[in-house]
Structure 1
Amino acid sequence: MPDKETKAMMGTEVTPRGKASPDSKDSRPSVFHNIKLFLLCHSLLQLSQLMISGYLKSSISTVEKRFGLSSQTSGLLAAFNEVGNTAFIVFVSYFGSRVHRPRMIGYGAVLVALAGLLMTVPHFISEPYRYDHTSPEDMPQDFKASLCLPTTSAPTPAPSNGSCSSYTEARHLTVVGILFLAQTLLGVGTVPIQPFGISYIDDFAHSSNSPLYLGILFALTMTGPGLAYGLGSLMLRLYVDIDRMPEGGISLTTKDPRWVGAWWLGFLIAAGLVALAAIPYFFFPREMPKEKHELHFRRKVLAIASSGVSKGRDTPSERSPGDSPEKQDGLAQVAADLTVIQFIKVFPRVLLRTLRHPIFLLVVLAQVCKSSTAAGLAIFLPKFLERQFSVTASYANLLIGGLSCPMAILGMVVGGALVKCLHLGPMRCSILCLLGTLFCLLLGLPLFFMGCSTHQIAGILHQPGTQPGPGLFPGCMEPCSCPSDGFNPVCDPSTHVEYITPCHAGCASRVVQETLDKSQVFYTNCSCVVGGGPVPAGSCDSACSHLVLPFMLLVSLGATVACVTHTPSFMLILREVKKEDKTLALGIQFMLLRVLAWMPSPVIHGSAIDTTCVHWAQRCGHRAVCRYYDHDLFRNRFIGLQFFYRIGAMVCFALVLVVLWQQDKEAGTKAAVCSSGPQQQLLLSGPEKKPEDSRV
């Protein structure tokens, strides 16, 4: 830092009542020399960044339908956000005190905005969405190709598998590759935003204000995922090709299983917000004066120092204002003096040393289990609600963003308040974590029974509850030339039987009923339906639609209780790990959470969901998106994975409690032995201290 700026900063601190000295005029020509303004900008940036990161989770089922992806592929797509993040997060510890942090945050935000724009490219390079692939290009969708017509007069559209060419396949791979590349860049761009922002606030805010500022930062940014689901709820009500609507409009409603919302539009909005939030970071200084409110604290400390109480020892206020916590920390000071090669060589040893701490290892494993649960719910809960309770994607996102996310924030606030107000030590923090995980487990038990079996689907499931498998289509549609890979479901309301297309129901005609606000499509002259119809277009509604609100209430209560344990679990790490290892221990913790939870969990959940599929759509001879699931298997395996991870977290917290109880017992025994006499204390403390130091 230039000498002029240093003098100005020192002059700002020593003048009474916050009046700046003449030297400070050059150091504060701009409003950007204000930590409160940085706090506001960083809160807005992290909020918009979490919106763009969480928006994919709100529209994952829509992206699956649009591009024909399986749940495993979509889970891998969501996990690629963490791949780019994990690859670079370790180097933040090395470069933290060597770079212009605000500018690095600005560069990262620009990369995040570009990644968000890249996510929308597949929409613009793809052909318009055709929800009825059996119709020829020159024929209106949902017209003759979906009806039961005699073989001689039926149109002969080329099947979708036959229309595949090397160009079509290459274009599909290009689209999927762009999505994966955008997610990777999004993860890379988010690397410097949070750690550099937190350290910058902690360095230049007053020591007593720093916890308050960080609390405000976390509280505001936690609303980002909720806003992402709310944005998804709004965007998915719009048709995907709103910018290139076909002539005559479309006959789909949002409840139609073929409906695809404008998933790409939310990325444009969120990317624009991130780009706007990135602009101020290029005007903040590399270092700024300490906050003015340090004056009262400084005078108080100087008064104590002048009385001789703190003579011979540097007080926090006597340190240079430019000294960051990293420079005052022993281990961080050593890391700052290392070259890149030396840092890479020493990091595995520090990692192994940190992992040998039993409390740290067990708490991180418990947090891995909790984060795996959160990852599975965040990505696939909207799809679960759509399939299990026959709700629209928009309504599912509205429930999650309006109910689960605020309840989770409430749980974090309650957890922090309990730790602060009750002055909880490590033992009580572990008890609180154990009880919270147990209650979360109990709240999840009723979820296994809140749902219905898959309704009867002609040609796929003959009787609900039987072993799923392909069956024969009814003989009433044999005179029809029905496409084998068509999908335009209709429902017989009298028998609650669903047919894949009107052709499979033997329907020969189509009627559109116009109302004031929407149009309803019906199919008539159906040979497979008692009375010949009419039957409405769309899938049959679930018999358990009324259970969606109780289900979400239990999920939200479980999220609240789980988030109560968030702060106590972090306190266990901060209070049990040695002071010089805290910074690097937290970095290792976040790295392990990404590698062990946020990367594999979406793929595991997606693979489990794919095993419950009973009817796959075909694209160029390969299976694409799943059309129908076995609801019982879907519910049991999805909720079962949540149950499995919560049991793992509970076991880890129980072991933490055992280790802490054993440590307290050993400490009590040692204190009793040491109190027998000064001579025995001297003999015992010598040999016992040495192996402990060597172990650490």
Structure 2
Amino acid sequence: MADERKETSESEVIEGMNVDEGVVGEVYGEEKQTQCGIGAWHPRRLQFCNSPIGFLICLCFFGFTQGMTVNGIVYVVTTTLERRFNLPSVQSGFISSSYDFGVLLVVVFVTYFGERAHKPRWLGIGALGFAASSFLFSLPHFTTGRYQYQTAGIDTCSLDGNATLDRECTGSSGGLSHYIGVFILAQLLHGFSASGIYTLGVTYIDENVETKRSPLYVGLFQGMSTLGPALGYLIGGLFLNHYTDVTIDQESLTISSDSPLWVGAWWLGFILTGCMALSIALPFLMFPRSMPAAKELALKRVSQTQKGSEFAARAGYGNALKDFPKASLNLIKNIPFMCVNGAAITEWFIISSLATFGPKFMETQFNIPASDAALKTGFLVIPASLCGALVGGWIVTFFNFQYRGMIRFCLGSLLFGFCMLPAFSIQCPNVPFAGVSVAYSNTGNIERDGTLDSNLTASCNTGCGCSTTYDPVCGTDGILYYSACFAGCLETGEINGVEKMYTNCTCIGNSTIDPEVLGGSAELGRCPQSCSKETLYIFLTFLQLLGTFLALVPSTMASIRCVSHDQRSFALGIQSLCFRAFGTIPGPVVFGALIDRVCVLWQDSCDGSACLIYDNKQFGLTALLLCMMLRLLSIFFFIGALAFYKPSSNERISVVDVDQNARESVHKDDTA
């Protein structure tokens, strides 16, 4: 009732005054632009959310969801997708890169025209699109039918048959690898929808909080965003422990999550994140174009723009379109800004490559299941990313670093991380694999080239009629065999009704004196490996990641400080274009191609090829050399960003453009 009396009194005062109705409408129109609501509905009880903190919470949730999906769960399920849909690493690398390609296609236009548009509304529409994209990514699970894992076609050696290493493919036997098109399309749509999170979202925060406090807000946002991938690793790993067909009783399966034939519930994570994105869309659509304090804050802001890079955007979409070439050239000529972009390219090349294949690196080097590798990677990334972003933002805020201070801080952080890169030289030896890394018993030395024909057949399994399906067994000699059949096992038995034990294996040395026993025995599954270096690797990698994420917030703030105020969103868009076109897009593809070169055993099928065994030493050396080279380039670029910076004279930013934008947009809310 008090609110109603207040509204009535305000109306009576206005009616009693001799005021131009157009002026009154403009005043109420400007007030409407700073209130939460949709259309003409702006309830007073909703206005407590109309603050930078309220927007920050929503932006953090969206950034968390985005990171959890495309930088967490997608990477975790990469190995599983390779197994389920028979994809080589190069193709699986394309899946993760497609997100960045989608962002690249639209980010420049989103940020250029979005600078003067209704930023929260654009983010709300993006959240809706992101939800639809996540649901699309999970679609192949529902259209491919149940996963039928295949153990070796002939479990044991049949001496009256002929070894058959080739599979005849019919026209209807393949096709699963074609689903890569669905994954790529979903990732492209993810990119389209999320292109405004780290550009329009960051600049909306920057224009609605004090300049000194802005890095802290951005640090909180980046921290939550980097927490998303970490939690994505954890949740994705937990889902992978559940069989892909959740309606099946796992106790009835003859394999466990430790088996290389296991396919976990990779699709559940995308259902979850789709629902999360859907829930945040409406709050974004209700935020105003600008908050009440935006004009006052603009009056207090001091320019740190690079000298000669000042730019004033003209009002109207027509003028904005005409000014697009000039605005782009103005940023390209800004040498400090482009140097920061160069560092962003090299750093994101590293991050995207290791994020995609980091779990595979741990799985291979330390001989652990894919689900365990994902969980351990998540536990590694969570504290490093969260502490790095939060501490980096807090340090910039506490010391009130200007542009030069931010760049120096980035240099120190990356130098610290560089010293931790030798973590990739820590590796465990490959498990001895018969016909791949060691010779079969009494068959002489072998030449390892990763082909089935030259490596896996030997005199002890000739004529066994073995299938090429990978179903490894561990012999009593501590050697891993491709299958029980290739180990020459003639008999089988069961332990606890599930685990299989094979006996009379002619390729395994006989440890008994019984003349009726032709060979040793083997147990289904991979051979256990004891390696004490895993803890050291995790510790050094944590420090390396901490140094990387410490530089995240200051580098972002430096990027928008050295450009004109009217080009903040566009600058972040150009930066996103650069590091995605030359960093995150080619990164996983290049790294995937490099590690495919160190694969020593492929499994070919009618649907494609997938690597089964990597050379651990070469895998680690490849990762080490690539990261060291790129990190040195990052340091070089930051030195250039510091050396070429020449600030313009300290002038306070005019509020004219801010005021003009608000007036111009009063009647354009629905079209923004």
TM over 0.5: yes
Structure-to-structure mapping, 1:201-600, within 5 angstroms = 201-202=205-206, 213-244=217-248, 249-282=252-285, 284=286, 286-287=288-289, 290=292, 315=299, 331=311, 333-334=313-314, 336-339=315-318, 343=320, 346-448=323-425, 450-462=426-438, 468-470=449-451, 471-472=454-455, 473-483=457-467, 485-494=468-477, 496-514=478-496, 519-531=498-510, 532-544=519-531, 546-600=532-586
Matched-pair contact (CA < 8 Å) for 1:524–1:535: yes
Match of 2:604 in 1: 618
Following superposition, the deviation at residue 290 of structure 1 comes to 1.4
Structure 1 unaligned blocks of 5 or more: 14-19, 136-144, 302-313, 318-328, 668-696
Matched-pair contact (CA < 8 Å) for 1:206–1:290: no
Matched-pair contact (CA < 8 Å) for 1:362–1:656: yes
The change in CA–CA distance for 1:251 and 1:586 in structure 2 (over 3 A counts) is same
Following superposition, the deviation at residue 244 of structure 1 comes to 4.7
Aligned-pair Cα RMSD in Å: 3.6
Following superposition, the deviation at residue 173 of structure 1 comes to 4.9
Matched-pair contact (CA < 8 Å) for 1:468–1:630: no
Following superposition, the deviation at residue 657 of structure 1 comes to 4.6
Following superposition, the deviation at residue 607 of structure 1 comes to 0.5
Following superposition, the deviation at residue 490 of structure 1 comes to 0.8
Matched-pair contact (CA < 8 Å) for 2:428–2:533: no
Aligned partner letter, 1:445? P
CA–CA distance in 2 between the matches of 1:420 and 1:285?
Answer: 26
CA–CA distance in 1 between the matches of 2:472 and 2:24?
Answer: 75
Structure-to-structure mapping, 1:23-34, within 5 angstroms = 27-29=42-44, 31=46, 34=50
- Could you list the per-position Cα deviations for residues 628-674 of structure 1 after superposition, in whole angstroms to 9, with x for gaps in the alignment? 111111111122211221121122233445546xx79xx9xxxxxxx
Which of 17, 25, 42 does residue 59 from structure 2 map onto? 42
The change in CA–CA distance for 1:213 and 1:654 in structure 2 (over 3 A counts) is closer
The change in CA–CA distance for 1:2 and 1:372 in structure 2 (over 3 A counts) is farther
Match of 1:307 in 2: none
SS at match of 1:530: coil
CA–CA distance in 2 between the matches of 1:354 and 1:645?
Answer: 24
Aligned partner letter, 1:131? Y
Match of 1:322 in 2: none
Following superposition, the deviation at residue 427 of structure 1 comes to 4.5
SS at match of 1:536: strand
SS at match of 2:487: coil
Following superposition, the deviation at residue 132 of structure 1 comes to 1.8
The change in CA–CA distance for 1:175 and 1:421 in structure 2 (over 3 A counts) is same
Aligned partner letter, 1:511? G
SS at match of 1:456: coil
The change in CA–CA distance for 1:207 and 1:290 in structure 2 (over 3 A counts) is farther
Which of 138, 142, 146 does residue 155 from structure 2 map onto? 146
Matched-pair contact (CA < 8 Å) for 2:86–2:177: no
Aligned partner letter, 1:68? N
Match of 2:103 in 1: 85
- 1:73 and 2:91 are equivalent in the alignment: yes
Following superposition, the deviation at residue 94 of structure 1 comes to 3.7
SS at match of 2:610: strand
CA–CA distance in 1 between the matches of 2:541 and 2:432?
Answer: 28
Match of 1:324 in 2: none
Following superposition, the deviation at residue 252 of structure 1 comes to 1.3
CA–CA distance in 2 between the matches of 1:362 and 1:205?
Answer: 27
The change in CA–CA distance for 1:189 and 1:543 in structure 2 (over 3 A counts) is same
Matched-pair contact (CA < 8 Å) for 1:416–1:568: yes
Q: Which is bigger in relative contact order (C-alpha 8 A, separation at least 6)?
A: 2
Aligned partner letter, 2:574? I
SS at match of 1:272: helix
Matched-pair contact (CA < 8 Å) for 1:146–1:488: no
Structure 2 unaligned blocks of 5 or more: 1-21, 302-308, 440-444, 511-518, 650-672
Aligned partner letter, 2:487? A
CA–CA distance in 2 between the matches of 1:31 and 1:402?
Answer: 38
Following superposition, the deviation at residue 557 of structure 1 comes to 0.5
Aligned partner letter, 2:168? G
Following superposition, the deviation at residue 422 of structure 1 comes to 3.8
SS at match of 1:363: helix
Structure-to-structure mapping, 1:177-192, within 5 angstroms = 177-192=181-196
- Could you list the per-position Cα deviations for residues 586-642 of structure 1 after superposition, in whole angstroms to 9, with x for gaps in the alignment? 32112211111111111111100111111111122x751111111111111122211
CA–CA distance in 2 between the matches of 1:338 and 1:12?
Answer: 19
Aligned partner letter, 1:91? F
Aligned partner letter, 2:495? Q
Aligned partner letter, 2:107? I
SS at match of 1:181: helix
